[in-house]
Amino acid sequence: MNRERMKELADAQFIERQASTAITTGETAADIFINERPYRLVKNYREAYDQQKLAARFSDFLEKYDYLVGDIAADQLRLQGFYKDGTKGIARSQQIAALQDFLYEQANFGAPFFVLENLAPHEVVEVEEKAASKPKRRRRQHKNGVNKAKQSNNKANNSNNKSQNHRDNKKRKKTPVIKEKVNTAHQPEKHVGKRSNSVATSGSKKHRHFQVRERSKNTEKE
């Protein structure tokens, strides 16, 4: 976005704010009404007060302060709110007694400024912040509900898994253990080639007895 476009948007916003703020003058030039609320111009250093600039920068949020201080820098107005001295619960830096400190530390040296006294300050309800906080609470409640549902589902799944594992373990205990038997019938005999056997028979034909004799290696060599 170029500078010309930014300037156009700033000017449009300036005009829009001017139209939404009504500023009138009372019996004297020091008596001012902003949106029909009474103010008094108590300080106008170097003719800093400008009705058009004030209308463009004013916000309803500033109605809670006892004093409004406006300083000019680079032809731009800045507004700062202060409470009256001795207000309970308010830091000294936010009371009107700290005006000189504000001008020395925040404003440009010798810059024009003015002070408006609010004759009817009132509490301001921050509607925008409350409206923005409601969806967040709803989201938190929704998230909490989802988390609780997930936790309950996880607990139910864990209990189901434990019961299923318990049943499986019972089934495994009841199943008989079958030991594998090794069949050695077809295993070859060791050192068969090194033995020389002879069969001797005795007895009659009906009742013959067979006896296997193994010859030793020494006998074969002889």
Q: How many other C-beta atoms lie within 10 A of the C-beta of residue 116?
A: 24
Q: Is there a domain that residue 6 lies in?
A: no
Q: Is there a domain that residue 110 lies in?
A: yes
The model's pTM? 0.55
Q: Is there a domain that residue 51 lies in?
A: yes
Show the domain range for 121.
11-125
Tally of structural domains, the chain:
1
**At residue 112, does pLDDT exceed 50?**
yes
pLDDT in tens, 85-103: 999 999 999 999 999 999 9
Closest to 50 measured CA to CA, from 71, 65, 64: 71
Distances (CA, A) of 196 to 193, 201, 210, 214: 8, 17, 16, 6
Q: Is there a domain that residue 188 lies in?
A: no
Q: Is there a domain that residue 94 lies in?
A: yes
pLDDT in tens, 185-209: 555 554 444 555 555 555 555 555 5
Q: Is there a domain that residue 36 lies in?
A: yes
Q: Is there a domain that residue 46 lies in?
A: yes
pLDDT in tens, 126-173: 765 445 555 555 555 555 555 656 666 666 666 666 666 656 655 555
Predicted confidence band of residue 9 (pLDDT cuts 50, 70, 90): confident
42: CATH? 3.50.4.20
Under 8 Å between Cβ of 22 and 35: yes
Q: Is there a domain that residue 156 lies in?
A: no
More confident residue, 74 or 195: 74
Under 8 Å between Cβ of 181 and 174: no
